Structure 1
Amino acid sequence: MNDHAASAHSHGSHGHGHGHGHGDHDHGADEGLRELLDLDAEITRDELAALTARIADLAGDHPVRDIIDIGSGTGTGTFALLRRFPDAVSTVVDTSDDMLSHLTTTARGHGLDARIRPLRADLDAAWPAAPDSADLIWASSSLHHMADPDRVLRDIHATLRPGGVLAVVEMADMPRFLPEDLGFGTPGLEERCHAAMEKTRAEHVPHIRSDWTSRLTAAGFTVDSHRTLDVSIPAPLPPAARRYAAATLGRFRHGLVDTLAPEDRATLDTLLDGDGPLSLRHRADLSLTSSRDVWLLTR
């Protein structure tokens, strides 16, 4: 549902939103991240539609014309919101020129480019002067990447018009795809990958497991709802979900190259060998589970 900052390129399998960033990007990593985010959008399309419907209910009779997407990535949230609010324009904020270019190209393909305002900005440095107000602000898996999320939340609160809506999405549990025993390698590979990734993320992204409810209320927001959005697809996975599994596990392999045991790296290589007989492409026992925490708030 959109998610990954500059730090996630090297430290996260899955991070979303580029809202703060530090300017330097690995273009190959950006390409892999774009694929992952686009697949995530495809996988969570129904859940995202239901979420934007709840946002519309919360907005009520207040017109939504100005949207800000914090850490817009490939535009998953923005495109869903623009379809839900046909009179709205979205300012998409990201540190990556590549991501913003990709988003703009995709918007053109959807006929939405006239309703997009790309804004390259590093929110760790300062909140941008424009736009100076918004009816709706969307932050999907971007807040935990901020160096000072409390300051950013205060800036969001000041920018949101009275009665405006803030939607925050943060990953609760990263996606899981594999059975405990793959039939080769040591059982429990995915659990070890997740444990290693959580340790790495905790070291480099200290706000990853923050008490967001407390931070949001301290910034002055009223919590309308806080719920967990679950995604579950049983085996065998359809093609898009299978590609999602390959993209996610590929980022594990890349991000944990110096952390995993040699046997686990070899097992991942076997799974990611597209033509190999033991690869993900040929497995019928892959499933998908993941969950995200969702807050809907008003000023």
Structure 2
Amino acid sequence: MQEFEDFLAGTDTPKIIYDVGGGTGNYTEIAARLCADSSICLVEPDPGMMQAAKAKLSGHKNVTYQNVGLEGVEAPDGADLVISVHSLYAMPDPEHRLADIRRMLRPGGMLYLVDLGRPMDVRDWRNFLFSRIRQEHGLFGALRIFWQGRQIAKQNKAIFKAQRDGTYWTHTAAEIASAVTAAGFEIINQRSVYRGYSDLLVCRATP
């Protein structure tokens, strides 16, 4: 999230922003805080996550909501920025969803995309997180945080199962780059993140 803040700080302020698959609104909150004069729309099909996002973002008056999947988004004006963080891989026909995102953007508009591409080694991720949290909060603090986050651990196991059975899209860095380019984007920056499981791409919509 700090990297996203740095990205916003280093670019012209986008006036129209969509956060697709925005979950509970973490990235929407950053955009709303740093781009207070912008129009921001959080798109999230899950009602529970949408409810949590609305509670989290209640203090931001520049945020609107669409409780739909990406294919159902209403975007009458060309967006300056679309955010998609760890949501594309779970959508049906992700390559087609990239084309939907391109249609939402004006030529020259930006896509900030983070996507989980490789099968998640749940044990590796759990051990890494526990080690990092223990350094900051001590053993008992880490145990408490892990107990509070046990639902997240269950979700990570479900993601791995869905990746393994082909329900969720898996891809190499080269494959997602090819899909993004085919959808009408120029890749400005790309690198692996989240211990190599995910890809971060900053892209510009081509004319």
Partner of 1:278: none
Over 3 Å counting, the alpha-carbon distance change for 1:118 and 1:226 in structure 2 is: same
Structure ID, larger Rg: 1
Work out whether 1:66 is the aligned partner of 2:20.
Answer: no
Secondary structure of 2:165's counterpart equals helix
Deviation at 1:199, TM superposition (A): 4.7
- The equivalences for 1:1-299 within 5 A come to 48-57=1-10, 59-60=11-12, 63-108=13-58, 111-112=59-60, 114-123=61-70, 126-171=71-116, 175-177=125-127, 198-209=160-171, 211-230=175-194, 292-299=198-205
SS at 1:164 equivalent: strand
Gaps of 5+ in 2: 132-155
Alpha-carbon offset, residue 50 of structure 1: 2.5
Counterpart AA for 1:118 = Y
* CA gap 1:203/1:81 in 2 versus in 1, 3 angstroms: same
The alignment of Structure 1 onto Structure 2 pairs a total of residues equal to: 172
Across the aligned residues of Structure 1 and Structure 2, the Cα RMSD in angstroms comes to 2.6
Q: What SS does the corresponding residue of 2:41 show, helix, strand or coil?
A: strand
- Whether contact under 8 Å (1:170, 1:292) holds in the other structure is yes
Cα distance 1:102–1:198, how it changes in 2: closer, same or farther (>3 A)?
Answer: closer
Q: How far does residue 78 in structure 1 lie from its aligned partner after superposition?
A: 0.6
- For 1:259, the equivalent position in structure 2 comes to none
Counterparts in 2 of 1:290 and 1:80: CA distance versus 1, 3 Å:
farther
What secondary structure, in the 3-state scheme, does the structure 2 residue paired with 1:207 have?
coil
SS of the residue 1:298 aligns to: strand
Q: What's the CA shift string for 1:84-140, capped at 9, x where partnerless?
A: 2222221111112222121111112xx21x1111101123xx342334321100001
Q: Distance in 2 between matches of 1:50 and 1:166?
A: 14
Give yes or no for contact 2:32–2:63 (8 Å, CA) kept in 1: no
How far off its partner does 1:52 sit? 2.7
Query: Any idea what the Cα deviations from partners look like across 1:148-197, whole Å, max 9, x if unmatched?
Result: 11221112112111211101112355632268xxxxxxxxxxxxxx8996
> TM-score, normalising length from structure 2?
0.72
Compute the TM-score of the two structures, normalised by the length of structure 1. Answer: 0.51
